[in-house]
Structures are given as structure tokens and as C-alpha cells.
Copies of this chain bind each other. A is one copy, B any other.
Amino acid sequence: MKYDKFFSADVGSFLRSPVREIFKKVDLASIYSFAGGYPDAATFPIDDVRRISAQVLDRYGAKALQYGATQGLTELREVISARYGVPMERVQITTSSQQGIDVCTRVLADPGDVVLTSAPTYLGALQSFRSYRADVRTFEDIGDDFSKVKFCYVIPDFQNPSGETMDLEQREALVALAREHDFLIVEDCPYRELRYSGEPVPTIYSLAPERTLHLGTFSKVFAPGFRLGWMFGPEELLDKVYVCKQSLDLCPPILDQYLAAEFMGSGALDANLQKSIALYRGKRDKMLALLEKYMPAGVSWTHPEGGLFLFVTLPEGFDTVALYDRALTAGVAYVAGSFFYPDGSHRNTMRLNFSFLDTARMEPGIRLLADVIRSASPL
């Protein structure tokens, strides 16, 4: 039976994640992987989860297993509201911040509408934008015509994949641009709490609460398996997100929301975050030192103040897509940087994750990667 005739027009624009395809091909535990965006499992508060699960079931009983409100659990919205100083009415819980990105795109973008993004940018966001047939444009190629821009998508803190952080001037300039041309801003902040050096910069949401949808997540400060995130935004926008979410999945998972509320509200999150930051700071520093030690001349990389990634640029003419199979055979994995560019350019770049691999395995991994690069010639 042929199925092609049944598919909606959107399906033709679906973008398969090359990252997830990499994971299918290879057992990451068997190689030195700088490819994924996985947190270090050592940061997962298993004992807290065990303790809090029992508490929540005792305290809330059947309520923790029943259907719940589409906006999310009041208890969870309260602790998020208190932590970030955003009124309850402006807090919507999402079933992952990936859902946050997707639902924003759904509610805002028609086919052909422009979504403005930095380049490189998060692949999962590109997947969402493409899947709704939005016209994805970068700051480099937008020119002067902002008339079809519905929203701009940015990850201002320790960006995925670049590791770079927008300073206050850049944030203010973006807000001024958005106000001038009347477009919205989707601010994705999965890594914001993972700062290892430097000073925090105000969120874009705090600079322009009237036109910013801010996305947060528990994935990097609790555990990604819970698939819980949140969204701040103007009530008029959140109302549409709310109605959309009714038909998307009715409500976020309830027991998980109670766990997250208790984890955040009790102070356990902050205690765990301190440990995570210390661990990741060490890993970042180690990674930077190893790159310095092993990478051949002409290779450069970013110096992130937080997050999980840094971005490496090889000399012009290198092709990290072509190099990938050789790297995998040698036993080391990365993600080709061109996957993060809407136009597939910058084939001489790669994203390296420094959160997942055990510290002890970083040195042989980077040495191997440097060897692979050294053995390759520019095309």
C-alpha cells in the first residue's frame, strides 16, 4: 500500500534530526562522545527523587495520578512564579521546552511567515520552524525587510550550539529592533542557571515582557526524563497557547509536576544545582585546556561561560560532515556544525558537548579527535 497521498503538506518539510540519527547508529557508551546534549547522569538527584516521590504520594495520593489543569499544576506554577518573579497568570507549564518552541511556532507562524534566528541555532527549533513551513531567516540574510517576521528565536545564555552569551547591549538592541519592526521574541533559556563564570545578564523577557515568550526547562536543573518546562509571556499570547495545549496533550504529567514543584520549592534544586555547576565548571575548564593542548594550529573554539557546548571552527576547506564517519570509526563523535545552520553552511565547524563524557575520558577523546582532524586535509 502507498501512503504518500495521505500526508499533509507539512510532512514534506519535516526535518529529521541528524543528531538523533547518529544516536541510532552507534552505542554512545562504546565511544568517546561529544555529540549529544545530555547532562551528566551524575547530576541527577536520584535520592531526592526517591524521597520526594514517596512524600508526594503520601501527601497528595490520588491527586498526583489524576488529570490536571491545562496550565499546569498550581503548586508548580507557584514555585516557578516565586523563583523568577513572574506573576502566576503569566506562567504556563509545558511538556518539555521543546513543546514550548513547537507550540509558539504553531500559534504564531503560518507557512511563509519569517522566523528570524541567529545562526547557528538549536536544531530542535529549526525542526519545529521547518515543520510548519516557516521561512527561517538569519540576522545575516534578513537584510532590511522585517515585514514578514512573526518572531525572533534566540538562546541568549550559553547558546546551543555556539556556547556564546548575548551581552546586555545585544539584548537591548534586539528588543529595540523588535519594537521598531513590531515582532515578538521567543527567548529559549535551557542553560541559564548553568553559569560557571562571569556575571548573569538580564533576560530578554525582563527587558520586554510585553513581546517576549520566555522558555525554561527542568531538563538541565532536575532531569531531562521528566519532560517538563515552562513558558512566561503576555496573558493574551498564553491564552492561545493554553487552548492549543488542550488539544496537544490536555495537561502536563501530574506526578512529575508534583516532584518538580517539591524539588524546586524545598531548596533541593538549588543544592543540586551547586553541585552540577561545580562539576560542569571543571569539565568546561578541562575541555578548554585539552583543546589548547591537542588541537592543531588553525583550529579555534568558543569559550562558554556556562551551558553544555562549545563550538569549534576548523580552517576553511575542512568538511566535518565528510569527516564524521572517519571520526566514528576512530571512536569519537561530534555533531557537524552545519546541521545548526538553516542553510547547511559552515561545514568547517563542529559542536562539542562537554557535559556528558566522564572527565577521565575527555583527554583520550579530544586527543583522538585532534588526530582525526590532523589526518584530514581541507578539500
Interface residue ranges, A against B (CB under 8 Å): 1, 3, 5-11, 14-17, 20, 36, 38-39, 41-42, 44, 46, 49-50, 53-54, 57, 61-68, 70, 95-96, 98-99, 101-102, 106-110, 113, 124, 127-128, 131-132, 150-151, 182, 184, 210-211, 219, 223-227, 234, 236-237, 240, 243-244, 246-256
B-side contacts of A95, CB under 8 Å: 95, 227, 249, 253
Contact B227 A98 (CB under 8 A): no
Answer whether A227 and B249 are a contact pair too, CB < 8 Å, given A1-B234, A62-B41, A70-B20. yes
Residue of B nearest to A125 (CB): B247
* Chain B positions within 8 Å of A36 at CB level: 67
- Which secondary structure dominates where chain A touches chain B? helix
Q: Which of A38, A46, A132 has the most CB of B within 10 A?
A: A46
Contacts of A110 in B (CB 8 A): 8-10
In Å, the complex CA distance between A107 and B256 comes to 28
- Min Cβ gap A42→B in Å is 8
Contacts of A46 in B (CB 8 A): 57, 61-62, 65
Number of this chain's copies in the complex: 2
Note all chain B residues with C-beta closer than 8 A to A131: 244, 247
B50 touches A54 (CB 8 A): yes
**Interface pair A249/B102, CB less than 8 Å apart:** yes
Please indicate the chain B residues that have their CB under 8 angstroms from the CB of A14 in the complex: 240, 243-244, 247
Question: Does the CB pair B20–A234 fall under 8 Å?
Answer: no
Contact status of A227 and B243, CB under 8 A, knowing A1-B234, A20-B70, A70-B20? no
- Determine if B66 and A246 form an interchain contact, defined as CB atoms under 8 angstroms apart: no
Residue pair B225, A67 in contact (C-beta under 8 Å): yes
Given A247-B128, A253-B253, A224 contacting B65 (CB threshold 8 A): yes
Q: Would B50 and A224 count as touching, CB distance under 8 A?
A: no
Residue of B with least CB distance to A103? B248
A44 engages B62 (CB within 8 Å): yes
